[in-house]
Chain A
Amino acid sequence: MSSGASVNTLQSLVEQLKLEAGVKQIKVSQAAAELQQYCMQNACKDALLLCVPAGSNPFREPRSCALL
């Protein structure tokens, strides 16, 4: 079928695909390495990662302590 509407749809689809195909890609290894680096850099600020209780000083003496 060669109706105008479907040609237009396809053309806009093609334009969109061309636009997306034109996006510059970097390698996954590099992208993943940067994600990893971000994680590592911010790990010390992440209270949930460090299991620090909310609203308390992380360097406070904890309640249960084993002396060796």
Chain B
Amino acid sequence: MRKSRPCLGTRRPVEAHEFTGGEGESTHPKVMISSEKLKGVGATLSDADHMQSQGCSVEWMPIHGIKPTRVCPLQRAKKWAQEVVIMDQERSWPCEWAGGSRVHQVAERVEALGQFVMKTRRTLKGHGNKVLCMDWCKDKRRIVSSSQDGKVIVWDSFTTNKFYCRFENLPSKSWGEEVTVCDTAKEKGVQVCMNKKVHISCSSTLTLMLVSLHASGLDNKCSVYPLTFDKNENMAAKKKSVAMHTNYLSACSFTNSDMQILTASGDGTCALWDVESGQLLQSFHGHGADVLCLDLAPSETGNTFVSGGCDKKAMVWDMRSGQCVQAFETHESDINSVRYYPSGDAFASGSDDATCRLYDLRADREVAIYSKESIIFGASSVDFSLSGRLLFAGYNDYTINVWDVLKGSRVSILFGHENRVSTLRVSPDGTAFCSGSWDHTLRVSGCVSTIQCVRGGGRDQPSWQQRGQSRLRWAGQPGSSRFSPVGSHGGRELPGEVQGASATQVFKHRLDNCVSAWS
């Protein structure tokens, strides 16, 4: 029996052979040849033939300790599964650092961000019940949100104006009465008694997707509505009922092309649907429990997505083949939210075990954990900032924590919500993020300057300025825009052009060769 060697370099699965043999040899079991003349283990057929031709009697006997050739297929499969699991464990063994490889170790030399101050810039009030879901429109300005009171509101995040969405003559009784789209200045929206959750996803053409969420017959449908601000238009007339599952729908998303929808359901599967025809294009089986969240890979040509579920697993799927490409099972509880890193090479997940974790797809393992002893409530939603340096996570303890992805430390905590944060998205242009909560409000928040503007310096004069926690030093040259800001670590001067960012400072060169810097 060939032993399985730990082979970190190769990945071929080890096949359980009941019998050994060289390449090209017959698959007869190795035997002892009992004969007067030749006793030995490891004889081959040719030996036996030779012996027989010599007139010796050859008796085929199984070697002691070797199991009989007929192995129950179930046993064989179990053995293979065990061996692959062992191989996988060996693969996960830290092969680079003692104690495991983590992003923080690699990012040790990266300048720390320092403490941020996050501030709520807009509070969007208007929902009558828990806000359950929201999404930014692709115009980077409008937000669509849904709440348990049945209203779907489109907000303008700059002016906080709101529009209610209108659905008329909805076929299923569970949708309740009509909701009217209106300009709030003129009319008041009609309330809807809807006790179903509506999930929002905005496509680039402002199409709205609504999903009703409780497991009762017709309600597990996903419908696509075109979002329009024309009061006379009846949106429900253009409604398309697209997806249907056998259990509640937990998440949905338009694909890159907007012609397809991806849904995740409580029945443990995800599915890809065509919007036009309503046809099921592909289904994804593999989760052992309800799938709670999904996110599509950001690249234009991407055809993978990641899903997280109650089975604590995050699985990456190939949309075309329906195969699970990678699976990660390090969380200790349900995964509530998954989000791809902006480059598409990694994804983060937030879970009820009060941690957020970063998984790298090419290293095929978890590479960072974002947790603190003081955080004991689950994370309900996560999102990255534009550069991927910051991870925003909304928790069930009413706070939003901002993590430094590379360092693994928390850089900010945002209070303000009076109930658990249920949904959180960063705007498409990365200037702000919006969080929706069970306290009926949404808050659009951003970062606030902590250090006041510093202005000074002169020609050719390096000067040190100290403001708050950060020291800036620059040297100006007449007639040029070359100066060298240096960060707070007090390192040496870096020659070169204007540095737009050292992650905490923004610099502006003025014609009088003074430098203004603020952060």
User: In the complex, which residues of chain B have a beta carbon less than 8 angstroms from the beta carbon of A52?
Assistant: 431, 447, 506
User: In the complex, which residues of chain A have a beta carbon less than 8 angstroms from the beta carbon of B72?
Assistant: 2
User: In the complex, which residues of chain A have a beta carbon less than 8 angstroms from the beta carbon of B501?
Assistant: 43-44, 49-50
Tell me the minimal C-beta distance from A9 to chain B in angstroms.
Answer: 9
Most buried by B among A43, A58, A61: A43
User: In the complex, which residues of chain B have a beta carbon less than 8 angstroms from the beta carbon of A59?
Assistant: 506, 508
Q: Is B506 touching A31 in the complex (CB atoms < 8 A)?
A: no
Give Cα A11 to B446, complex, Å.
51
Q: Is B77 touching A18 in the complex (CB atoms < 8 A)?
A: no
User: In the complex, which residues of chain B have a beta carbon less than 8 angstroms from the beta carbon of A16?
Assistant: 286, 324
Tell me the minimal C-beta distance from B74 to chain A in angstroms.
Answer: 5
Q: Is B341 touching A42 in the complex (CB atoms < 8 A)?
A: no
Give Cα A26 to B282, complex, Å.
30
Give Cα A28 to B368, complex, Å.
11
- Select which of B77, B323, B433, B453 is within 8 A of A65 by beta carbon: B453
> Known: A7-B74, A21-B87, A44-B501. Contact between A35 and B286, CB under 8 A?
no
- Select which of B13, B326, B406, B447 is within 8 A of A51 by beta carbon: B447
List B residues 498-514 near A (Cβ within 8 Å): 500-501, 503-504, 506, 508
Is B387 an interface residue when CB atoms closer than 8 A count as contact?
A: yes
Give Cα A43 to B102, complex, Å.
21
- Select which of A22, A55, A58, A65 is within 8 A of B11 by beta carbon: A22
Q: Considering only CB atoms and an 8 Å cut-off, how many residues of chain A contact the other chain?
A: 56
Tell me the minimal C-beta distance from A67 to chain B in angstroms.
Answer: 6
Chain B minimum-CB-distance residue to A19: B323
Is B61 an interface residue when CB atoms closer than 8 A count as contact?
A: no
Give Cα A63 to B456, complex, Å.
17
Tell me the minimal C-beta distance from A36 to chain B in angstroms.
Answer: 5
Q: Is A36 touching B107 in the complex (CB atoms < 8 A)?
A: yes
User: In the complex, which residues of chain B have a beta carbon less than 8 angstroms from the beta carbon of A25?
Assistant: 91, 362-365
User: In the complex, which residues of chain A have a beta carbon less than 8 angstroms from the beta carbon of B506?
Assistant: 50, 52, 58-59
Is B284 an interface residue when CB atoms closer than 8 A count as contact?
A: no
A-B pair count, CB < 8 Å, reads: 219
Q: Is A10 touching B431 in the complex (CB atoms < 8 A)?
A: no
Tell me the minimal C-beta distance from A40 to chain B in angstroms.
Answer: 8
Tell me the minimal C-beta distance from B7 to chain A in angstroms.
Answer: 11
Tell me the minimal C-beta distance from B450 to chain A in angstroms.
Answer: 7
Tell me the minimal C-beta distance from B122 to chain A in angstroms.
Answer: 9
Q: Is B87 touching A48 in the complex (CB atoms < 8 A)?
A: no
Give Cα A35 to B406, complex, Å.
8
Chain A minimum-CB-distance residue to B78: A10
Chain A minimum-CB-distance residue to B96: A29
Q: Is A47 touching B343 in the complex (CB atoms < 8 A)?
A: no
Give Cα A51 to B389, complex, Å.
13
Q: Is B385 touching A32 in the complex (CB atoms < 8 A)?
A: no
Tell me the minimal C-beta distance from B11 to chain A in angstroms.
Answer: 5
Is B367 an interface residue when CB atoms closer than 8 A count as contact?
A: yes
User: In the complex, which residues of chain A have a beta carbon less than 8 angstroms from the beta carbon of B343?
Assistant: 34-35, 38
Q: Is B446 touching A48 in the complex (CB atoms < 8 A)?
A: yes
User: In the complex, which residues of chain A have a beta carbon less than 8 angstroms from the beta carbon of B363?
Assistant: 25-28, 30-32
Q: Is A48 touching B390 in the complex (CB atoms < 8 A)?
A: yes
Give Cα A10 to B433, complex, Å.
45
Give Cα A2 to B78, complex, Å.
11
Q: Is B325 touching A48 in the complex (CB atoms < 8 A)?
A: no
Chain B minimum-CB-distance residue to A64: B452
Q: Is B452 touching A13 in the complex (CB atoms < 8 A)?
A: no
> Known: A21-B11, A34-B345. Contact between A46 and B386, CB under 8 A?
yes
Is B342 an interface residue when CB atoms closer than 8 A count as contact?
A: yes
Chain B minimum-CB-distance residue to A59: B508
Q: Which residues of A contact B (CB under 8 A)?
A: 1-2, 6-7, 10-11, 13-14, 16-36, 38-55, 58-59, 61-62, 64-68
Q: Which 6 A-B pairs have the closest CB atoms?
A: A28-B101, A42-B387, A32-B106, A46-B387, A31-B363, A65-B453
Given contacts A28-B367, A48-B446, 16 further A-B contacts (CB under 8 A): A14-B84, A18-B84, A20-B324, A21-B13, A25-B364, A32-B103, A35-B406, A36-B406, A38-B343, A39-B406, A43-B389, A46-B430, A48-B431, A50-B504, A68-B454, A68-B465
